[in-house]
Amino acid sequence: MQIQDYFNFLAPDDIRIKGSRIGIESVLYEYIYRAKTPEEIAEQFETITLEDVYATILYYIFNPLGFNQR
């Protein structure tokens, strides 16, 4: 799978999960600041899958500079 299979890059600071209107910052907020598990996040956002949540977390882990500047 390619990163483009999971995300729509609308702008440098606007990345959405493909097939939904959910921005990756919404998923990451739940993961980082509310300490929710990927399973809990997938249940909370009904339009994304557990695979989407894991893809978002992995994208964040491998691209930390883009998020630390915000």
At 9-68, the pLDDT tens digits run 999 889 999 999 999 999 999 999 999 999 999 999 999 999 999 999 999 999 876 665
Q: Taking the domains of the chain in order of start, what are their residue ranges?
A: 3-68
pLDDT at res. 45 = 98
Please give the full DSSP string across 33-65, using - where no structure is assigned: TS---HHHHHHHSTTS-HHHHHHHHHHHHH-HH
CATH fold for domain 3-68: Arc Repressor Mutant, subunit A (1.10.10)
Residue 1 has pLDDT above 80, yes or no: no
Length of the chain: 70
Q: What are phi and psi of 8, to 5 degrees?
A: -105, 120
Residue among 50, 46, 4, 12 at smallest CA distance from 25: 12
Cα of first residue to Cα of last residue in the chain, in angstroms, is: 28
What is the pTM (predicted TM-score) of this model? 0.88
